[in-house]
């Protein structure tokens, strides 16, 4: 008679984790509700890892070229400032505006910093209606941005976040996000960023988002760049039908520029569907952002709004 062997506790827990990882290894997710209209707006989220790539080199020019490749109408960035000390901004916002047509949402940030707790939102062809800088609860200092934009295709509220490492903190932070996701004018809401959560289902710290933003299974693997298996980065929307497609941006440059891959989503924004988005004539969308002779870009902070 063969005796049934008991697996060690660590191996028992590995089974569900591996199952979750296999579910998340897809590179794209399509919302099949074609009745909602054609996509007309591209949004993206990218944890730039303070411009330090897999090769451990600090290279903001490489990071900015990945941002240019994505060519989004709105992009939420995480880890755009040094975390300690003077919290300097690590990108050249003038270069991003000139080469990509992306403007940084104005913040009351540190004197030489770009973001709020490392979060920054950039957009093209639109108007900023309102900006709120959230302080998220938890053991670590975390924050988020609530940005009301009016884009060519219509109004939208963007909530850009970088959630904490602890499950309990993320659960509390999700409640803060929900409290900020009810604009008085009823515009659609998009939440995006590094959620630091790979679990799906009832064990996920994101579960309370499900009634308003669910289903939450539209996750694509973005971490780590060498072999992406975890869906740490998310783009979710209310209404859910707003998102038609989510996919990973896995160019050869993106695969080395950070420890996270960028993710992007096509939105069906507004009642009128504009023609397929084409590059603005005064913004180059091909070619390379050339590095200046100086070894690092100028640290240009975001001016405080009046």
- CATH number of the domain that residue 90 is part of: 3.60.10.10
Give domain status of residue 285, yes or no: no
Give domain status of residue 133, yes or no: yes
Strand locations in the chain, DSSP E? 28-30, 41-47, 74-78, 103-104, 120-123, 126-136, 142-151, 154-162, 189-194, 233-238, 243-248, 263-267
pLDDT of residue 216: 78
| Cα 124 → chain centroid | 16
pLDDT of residue 198: 84
Give domain status of residue 14, yes or no: no
Strand order in the sheet with 189-194: 126-136, 142-151, 154-162, 189-194, 233-238
Give domain status of residue 306, yes or no: no
CA distance 154 to 268: 10
Q: Number of folded domains in the chain?
A: 1
pLDDT of residue 278: 43
CA distance 239 to 242: 6
Asked if 164 and 141 count as a contact pair (C-beta separation under 8 A), the reply is no
pLDDT of residue 37: 59
Give domain status of residue 2, yes or no: no
Give domain status of residue 43, yes or no: yes
Domain range enclosing 87: 24-267
Give domain status of residue 11, yes or no: no
CA distance 158 to 43: 10
| pLDDT values of the chain reduced to their tens digit, one per residue, 306 residues | 444 445 445 444 444 544 444 445 567 667 765 445 577 899 999 999 999 999 999 999 999 999 999 999 999 999 998 866 666 888 999 999 999 999 999 998 667 788 889 999 999 999 999 999 999 998 888 999 999 999 999 999 999 999 999 999 999 999 999 999 999 999 999 999 999 998 877 789 998 998 899 877 778 999 999 999 999 999 999 998 899 999 999 999 999 999 999 999 999 997 433 334 344 444 444 456 555 544 344 333 333 333
pLDDT of residue 26: 61
Give domain status of residue 221, yes or no: yes
Rg (CA), the chain: 19
SS3 letters for 213-228? HCCCCCCCCCECCCCC
pLDDT of residue 296: 42
């Amino acid at each position: 008679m063969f005796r049934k062997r008991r697996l060690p506790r660590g191996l028992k827990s590995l089974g569900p984790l591996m199952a979750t990882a296999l579910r998340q290894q897809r590179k794209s997710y399509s919302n099949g509700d074609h009745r909602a209209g054609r996509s007309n707006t591209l949004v993206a989220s990218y944890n730039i890892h303070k411009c330090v790539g897999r090769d451990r080199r600090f290279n903001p020019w490489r990071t900015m070229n990945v941002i240019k490749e994505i060519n989004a109408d709105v992009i939420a960035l995480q880890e755009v400032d040094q975390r300690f000390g003077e919290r300097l901004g690590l990108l050249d916002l003038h270069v991003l505006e000139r080469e990509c047509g992306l403007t940084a949402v104005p913040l009351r940030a540190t004197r030489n910093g770009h973001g709020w707790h490392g979060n920054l939102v950039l957009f093209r062809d639109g108007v900023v209606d309102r900006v709120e800088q959230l302080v998220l609860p938890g053991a670590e200092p975390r924050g988020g941005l609530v940005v009301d934009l009016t884009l060519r295709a219509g109004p939208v509220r963007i909530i850009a976040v970088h959630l904490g490492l602890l499950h309990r903190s993320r659960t509390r932070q999700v409640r803060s996000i929900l409290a900020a996701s009810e604009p008085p004018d009823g515009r659609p809401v998009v939440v995006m960023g590094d959620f630091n959560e790979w679990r799906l289902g009832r064990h996920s710290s994101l579960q309370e988002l499900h009634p308003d933003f669910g289903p939450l299974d539209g996750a694509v693997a973005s971490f780590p760049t060498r072999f992406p298996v975890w869906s740490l980065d998310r783009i979710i929307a209310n209404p859910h039908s707003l998102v038609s497609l989510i996919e990973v941006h896995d160019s050869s440059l993106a695969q080395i520029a950070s420890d996270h891959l960028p993710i992007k989503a096509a939105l069906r924004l507004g009642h009128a569907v504009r023609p397929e988005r084409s590059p603005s004539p005064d913004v180059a969308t091909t070619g390379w952002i050339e590095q200046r002779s100086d070894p690092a870009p100028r640290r240009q902070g975001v001016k405080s709004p009046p």
